[in-house]
Amino acid sequence: MTSRLFSTPSRRTVVKAAAATAAAFPAAAAAAGSATAADTRPAFLHGVASGDPLPDGVLLWTRVTPGPDAVPGSGRGADTAVAWEVAEDRGFTRIAARGSLTARAAFDHTVKVDVRGLRPATDYHFRFTAGDVRSPAGRTRTAPAPDSSGPGIRFGVVSCANWEAGWFSAYRHLAARSDLDAVLHLGDYLYEYGSGSYPSEKYTVRPHEPRHEILTLADYRLRHATYKTDTDLQALHAAHPVVAIWDDHEIANDAWSGGAENHTPGTEGDYAARVAAAKQAYFEWMPVRTSTEGTVYRRLRFGRLADLHLLDLRSFRSQQAGVGSGEVDDPDRTITGRAQLDWLKAGLTASDARWQLVGTSVMISPVAFGSMPARLLRPLTELLGLPEGGLAVNTDQWDGYTDDRRELLAHLTDRGVENTVFLTGDIHMAWANDVPVRASTYPLSRSAATEFVVTSVTSDNLDDLLHVAPNTLSLVAETAVKAANRHVRWVDMDAHGYGVLDVTAERTQMDYYTVSDRTRKDATTAWARSYRTRSGTQKVERVNAPVR
Give just the sign of the alpha carbon dihedral 19, 20, 24, 25. Answer: negative
* Among the listed residues 245, 231, 377, 219, the one whose alpha carbon sits nearest the alpha carbon of residue 314: 245
Amino acid at 525: T
With a CB cutoff of 8 Å and minimum separation 6, the contacts of 342 are none
In a domain, 548, yes or no: no
Last residue of a domain, one of 141, 173, 196: 141
Full domain range(s) for residue 513 = 297-543
* Among the listed residues 174, 136, 171, the one whose alpha carbon sits nearest the alpha carbon of residue 47: 136
Detail the DSSP E strand segments found in 368-493: 420-424, 430-436, 447-453, 488-492
**CB neighbours (10 Å) of residue 74?**
20
In a domain, 20, yes or no: yes
Number of domains in the chain: 2
pLDDT at residue 122, as a whole number: 98
Alpha helices in 351-473 (DSSP H): 374-384, 402-414, 462-466
**Is residue 533 within 8 Å of residue 450, measured between CB atoms?**
yes
pTM > 0.75: yes or no: yes
Write the CATH number for 72: 2.60.40.380
Order of all β-strands in the sheet with 298-302: 298-302, 306-310, 355-360, 420-424, 447-453, 430-436, 488-492
**CA angle, 401 as apex, 398 and 407 as ends, to 5°?**
90
In a domain, 212, yes or no: no
Last residue of a domain, one of 109, 141, 173: 141
Distance in angstroms between the alpha carbons of the first and the last residue of the chain: 53
Count the helices and strands in the chain (H runs, E runs).
Answer: 12, 24
pLDDT at residue 462, as a whole number: 85
Amino acid at 472: T
pLDDT tens for the chain, 548 residues: list them. 333 344 444 434 433 444 445 455 544 443 333 334 446 899 999 999 999 999 999 999 999 999 999 999 999 999 999 999 999 999 999 999 999 999 999 999 999 999 999 999 999 999 999 999 999 999 999 999 999 998 999 999 999 999 999 999 999 999 999 999 999 999 999 999 999 999 999 999 999 999 999 999 999 999 999 999 999 999 999 999 999 999 999 999 999 999 999 999 999 999 999 999 999 999 999 999 987 789 999 999 999 999 999 999 999 999 999 877 778 888 999 999 999 999 999 999 999 999 999 999 999 999 876 545 555 655 765 666 553 433 545 889 999 999 999 999 999 999 999 999 999 999 999 999 999 998 878 888 899 999 999 999 999 998 888 888 877 777 888 888 888 889 999 999 999 999 999 999 999 999 999 999 999 999 999 999 999 999 999 999 999 999 98
What are residue 38's DSSP bridge partners? none
In a domain, 235, yes or no: no
In a domain, 262, yes or no: no
Last residue of a domain, one of 119, 141, 163: 141
In a domain, 148, yes or no: no
What are residue 514's DSSP bridge partners? 497, 526
Write the CATH number for 453: 3.60.21.70
In a domain, 234, yes or no: no
Cα separation, 441 vs 439, in Å, equals 5
